[in-house]
Amino acid sequence: MNVAEYLDPDGWLGHSAGPRYVQLRRRLERGIESGDLPPDSSLPPEREVADITGLSRVTVRKAIQELVKLGLVEQRQGSGTFVRAPVAKVEQSLSHLTSFTEDMRRRGLDTTSKWIERGVFMPSPEEVMALGLSAGDSVSRIYRLREAGGQPMALECASLPIDILPNPIEVTTSLYEVLERSGNRPVRAVQKISAINLEPTEADLLGVAEGTAGLRIQRTSYLDSGRVAELTRSIYRGDAYDFVAELRLSN
């Protein structure tokens, strides 16, 4: 079935089935989910979709923009709109304190990092408070784009006192492996997870459309002594991650 036949409005477009842009978006969603509109197939131009469906170009544009935000299609400059290949979702447990590298390695995925910032800096007020720093202290900070299987997955910014991580350049893959060698690996953490829509810079780095759903995670990690060892602020692609927690009935 070609796209024009699939978008023929007979049978799916009705006056009492909700806003017309929503009806078109759902029709395209179903086609993508069923495989009738396979990955990398192109959608007709807005004008052609409007002609096929009898909808206005404004309605068509709104439906396409919704699909872009959902991560189901992408608009390529000068080429048109294409169905995106599905992203393999990763489940990450909230019950165990592990690093991104360790999580992906258990799933058989190779990890790479693109460094955005790495070095020793003057701390921000947030870092001073979270890490218990004194006036004049510096902070080791590593900020990178985390990739797994060649695909952007998360933006991760970790801040640590310099006596816990004296040389941030030493971190090439797993931060926790470096901390393990020095006897400073955290043993517990508190995490706060929030739903967000990605800002333009974040979305561009993660390879998704501006406004796409994401997850912001702030983690404060502790040594066995109770001292704060790490403040990490991460942004994960919402279409690539599910966080899973096991709950037990307390006695």
**pLDDT for residue 93:** 64
Q: Which two tokens stand for residue 13?
A: 């477009």
Instruction: Report d(CA 37, CA 32) in Å as an integer.
Output: 5
* pLDDT tens readout for residues 4-55: 888 988 889 888 778 999 999 999 999 988 889 998 899 999 999 999 999 9
H-helix segments, the chain? 3-6, 20-34, 46-53, 57-69, 100-106, 125-131, 175-181, 200-206
Q: How many CB atoms lie within 10 A of CB 234?
A: 20
The answer to whether residue 102 scores a pLDDT higher than 80 is no
* pLDDT tens readout for residues 204-234: 999 888 888 899 999 999 999 999 999 999 9
Give how far Cα 29 sits from Cα of 64, 66, 78, 101, Å.
10, 10, 23, 33
- DSSP three-state, residue 122: coil
Q: Give the percent of the chain with pLDDT over 90.
A: 54
Candidates 249, 205, 246, 244; CA nearest to 235 is 205
Instruction: Report d(CA 4, CA 248) in Å as an integer.
Output: 52
Q: Are residues 239 and 154 in contact, defined by beta-carbon separation less than 8 angstroms? A: no
**pLDDT for residue 90:** 66
**pLDDT for residue 95:** 65
Domains assigned to the chain: 3-83 (1.10.10.10), 90-244 (3.40.1410.10)
**pLDDT for residue 208:** 85
**pLDDT for residue 192:** 92
What is the average pLDDT across 160-173? Answer: 95
Q: How confident is the model at residue 251 (pLDDT cuts 50, 70, 90)?
A: low
What is the average pLDDT across 170-186? Answer: 93
